[in-house]
Amino acid sequence: MVQSSASDVFLIQSVGILPAGAVAPNFTLHVTPDQTLALSDLLGHPVILAFYPADWSPVCGDQIALYNEILPEFRKFGAELLGVSVDGAWCHDAFAQNRHLHFPLLADFEPK
């Protein structure tokens, strides 16, 4: 579930889609069923948010696998990679294990 403040929601509604390189409003999403990650936890690091529709779809699976392969390039720049989709944390866990992913997948299970 997304946890954001009223000012974050207002920002998104008043600005619309944020351009590349813009500062994203803070949010908190589940990484596992009992662990969350807030964007503010990564303050001071470049963050790459990779939004994708679903874990097990062929195109998305290939896209996420490609990100996993080039992850060392992102890390050379101190960047953190986060995958975000509407799948639940349990689904993400199975998908990440199956694809041997080395970055967190965030569950935006109740998108707004």
Beta bridge partner(s), residue 47? 80
Has 60 been annotated as catalytic? yes
Contact 64, 58 (CB under 8 A): no
In the chain, the amino acid numbered 59 is V
Cα angle at 59 between 32 and 23, to 5 degrees?
Answer: 60
The one catalytic residue among 27, 29, 52, 60: 60
Q: DSSP assignment of 6-31, as one string?
A: HHHHHHHHHH-SPPTTPPPPP-EEEE
The total of other beta-carbon atoms located within 10 Å of residue 64's CB is 22
Active site residues: 60
